[in-house]
Amino acid sequence: MKIKTIIVALVMASISSLANAEVRLGLSGAFTNFEATGTETLKSSSNKTSSGDVGDDVFIPTVWLELASENGWALGLDWLPTTEIGSKSETRPDTDTDDASDTSGTNTATADLDSHVTYYISKQFGSTPLYVKVGMAKADVITKENLATGTTYGNATIDGLALGAGLQFRSDSNLLLRAEYLYTDYDDLSLTGSEDADSVTNKVDADVDTTAIRISLGLAF
């Protein structure tokens, strides 16, 4: 909450400098690493819990739009299309409420990020190419699973804090070239499964974060 308050304060402080702002529009390519650490609680009579890590490296194209002032402040948003952030397959016994009816099978699960938008504020330092940025991200997590128990986990919305720094270069024709590092720490994700054949609901909790190296091309109007 304190971090969100600071971001809002920065936005309010920069609005007055955007009266004669220029518009910037661009495309980015991000080499992104997704990391998720989670636990799954199987609601058997013993409430068995398993944990694990899932990581994936993906290339993600994004579109961004900014309003930028002459003193280096900019307000922007960054949108990315639906992208897969993790996939896992394993064979194990799945445990439900009736310990005697454990089933064994191959479980597969994937997760996609959908409608991912980051609202951010950035500051470039004088005539140097260096800039920093901070923002808030929001996305829908779409899960797809094929589990031996028949359980499905549904979807959820997560928020995150984005922190980044980079270098921006500008040509005489107002073309922009950027190289940027961006880290996003998302709120904890909690999913409750549908009832399986024995009317049991399982639960998954996960901590998700991403690191990205982004190359951007843009145009200032």
pLDDT mean over 29-52: 71
> Interior CA angle at 36 toward 30 and 37, to 5°?
155
Placement of tokens 């040509």 in the chain: 171
Q: Which fold has domain 2-88+103-220?
A: Porin (2.40.160)
Q: Where are the domains of the chain?
A: 2-88+103-220
**Residue 161 DSSP label:** E
What confidence tens digit (pLDDT) does each residue in 136-166 have? 999 998 877 666 666 677 788 899 999 999 9
What does the pLDDT read at residue 90? Answer: 56
Q: What are phi and psi of 193, to 5 degrees?
A: -75, 160
Global pTM value: 0.77
Q: Measured between alpha carbons, how far is 76 from 94 in angstroms, rounded to an integer?
A: 46
**Highest mean predicted confidence (pLDDT) among 25-29, 138-142, 192-196, 200-204:** 25-29
d(CA 44, CA 52): 19
